Amino acid sequence: MSPVSVVGVSHLTAPVEIRERFAFAPAEAEAALGRLRTESEVQEAVLLSTCNRTELYVCPAGNERVKEAAERVLSDKAGEVVGGTKQYLYHHEGEASVRHLYRVAGGLDSLVLGEAEIQGQVRDAYELAGQSSTRPSLAGPILHRLFQSALSVGGRIRSTTPIGEGAASVASVAVELARKIFGGLEGRQVMILGAGSTAELVVGALARDGIRGLVVSNRTYERASELASRLSGRAVHFDEMPFELAKTDILIASTAAPHPLVTGDGFRQARGSGRRGPLLILDLAIPRDVEAEVGNEPNVFLYNVDHLHEILDDNLLKRRSSVPEAEAIVEEYARDFLHWYGARSVVPVIRSLRGRWDDVRRGELDRLLRKLSHLSADDRDLVEAFSKQLLNKLLHDPTRRLKQGAGNGRAVEFIDAVRYLHDLETVEADSSEGLELDDAQAMEVEDAETVEVEDTGTTDG
């Protein structure tokens, strides 16, 4: 029995120039979900779209038309692709789809192992499916439960394993190192030399750390100005850089210059004799932008890209070592979800079973009471209460074991056996009815049985 299926594309199946064609803005995602509800047999859907993946989770699973509808949504967004879009898509059904989402939420399927941003993106996708003023929620009882548990998986993995510890890119390592040296970056003067892709990554890492007001110096002033504006900073021309260096706490260099831009003599002249505070220099350029002798100056901490890669390798080693522990958490939550889903699917047959034998109880009780017409009204009530309690006792263990068996993945087998052994009328599309029940309804039978059996136990003597 398949609770959910997923169709998607990710960094594992497609290069960035293909992935970007599948990317949905929030308004586009909401419109696509609305079309799924009105134009297909999809009952529930959540669309997750990030820079590294686009995935559509749908219910009911195991339905070819639902699968085709999900594929169509993604293919329509991507448009014409040489060789077709299906070559980049992957599919997971049932248990595999549950584990896949849990691994995604836990950062185990990410381009950067253990990255934390994906958990918020999973939450945003789930909330988008549930919030709309123009259509019913597409995050119904199955996907509601699935995504809530996925967020719990991600939270537990990050709180109990080291998978998210330590920066996982050179840019983030640089910012983390600055934070460790200064104990916090608020109020620190940051200057960036260069405005290329590495500088962009550094600016992104600084933005996540709350930095505002940095200085960017680049040979192309317009490019420096555009990059600085992202953090409410300012641009300076290269010939002004030495004057800014005297006021700088953190210098991050990442130009493509063929020779050092900060020499030993030039640094000493720019710094002067008045500066006494620490200066962190992170030279991310190859060839290097800063001469090695600058690192010998008092209160100067100079790191080049090799130093940062050593730190990065240590961080990634720690992350990779925690994968088995994280995978065990995924398995634990997957078992719990599949047990819950399996138990839901047997609720209709349990109701049929109880209804079938309650009809027998009432028929036999009527015949008995006709023969015992001399009984008082109170005595007749006692006999009827006894018949109900006896039926509850007789059905309690079979229904409990039926739910246990269904939760272990044997729902169809057990349901067919119960129908045959108890001569139940076929309940049309039992699994579909189970999907329509909300959580409260799914637990109704279990709660009622527990109370009634416990009450019986008090009069058992």
Q: What is the DSSP string of 171-224?
A: HHHHHHHHHHHHS--TT--EEEE--SHHHHHHHHHHHHTT----EEE-SSHHHH
Segments in the chain below pLDDT 50: 426-461
Closest CA to 204 of 276, 143, 252, 140: 252
Tell me which residue of 289, 226, 221 sits closest to 254, measured CA to CA: 289
pLDDT of residue 169: 75
Number of CB atoms found within 10 A of residue 46's CB: 28
Domain ranges of the chain: 5-161+322-337, 170-317, 346-458
pLDDT of residue 316: 85
Which residue bears the tokens 């169809």?
A: 412
Torsion of CA 294, 300, 209, 236, to 10 degrees: -50
Give the ranges where 406-438 is alpha helix by DSSP (H).
411-421, 430-436
CA 459 to chain centre: 50
What is the CATH code for 170-317? 3.40.50.720
Instruction: Give catalytic status of residue 59 as yes or no.
Output: no
Is residue 384 a contact partner of residue 365, using CB atoms and an 8 Å limit? yes
User: For residues 12 and 10, what is the distance between their CA atoms, to the nearest angstrom?
Assistant: 5
Kindly write down the DSSP assignment for every residue of 68-116, as one continuous string.
HHHHHHHHHHH---TT-SGGG-EEEETHHHHHHHHHHHTTTTSSSTT-S
CA atoms of 115 and 53, how far apart (whole Å):
14
The Cβ-side half-sphere exposure at 43, using a 13 Å CA radius, reads 19
Q: What pLDDT was estimated at residue 334?
A: 94
Q: CB-based contacts of 335: which residues, under 8 Å, 6+ apart?
A: none
Q: Amino acid letter at 427?
A: V
Say which residue the tokens 């699935």 belong to.
146
pLDDT of 2 reads: 62
Taking Cα atoms as reference points, which of 133, 130, 239 lies closest to residue 193?
A: 239
Which of these, 43, 72, 68, lies nearest to 58 by C-alpha position? Answer: 43
Q: Beta strands 250-253 and 279-283: pairing type?
A: parallel
The answer for 153, left when phi > 0, alpha when psi is -120 to 50, beta otherwise, is alpha
Place of tokens 């789930």: 126
Both tokens of 131, joined, read 């919030």
Assign a CATH topology to domain 5-161+322-337: Beta Polymerase; domain 2 (3.30.460)
Per-residue pLDDT at 114: 87
Break the chain down into helix, strand, coil percent, rounded to 5.
Answer: 60, 10, 30
- Identify which of 341, 404, 349, 428 has the alpha carbon closest to the alpha carbon of residue 98: 341
- Annotated catalytic residue: which of 51, 256, 286, 421? 51
- CA 273, chain centre distance (Å): 53
Extract long-range pairs of 438-445: CB within 8 Å, 24+ residues apart: 438/141, 439/141, 439/145, 441/347, 442/141, 442/343, 442/344, 442/347, 444/347, 445/347, 445/350, 445/351, 445/354, 445/399
Beta bridge partners of 8: 55, 90
Look at the alpha carbons of 438, 443, 445, 451 in this order and tell me if their dihedral is positive or negative: negative
CA distance 93 to 208: 36
**Distance spanning both ends of the chain, measured CA to CA:** 43
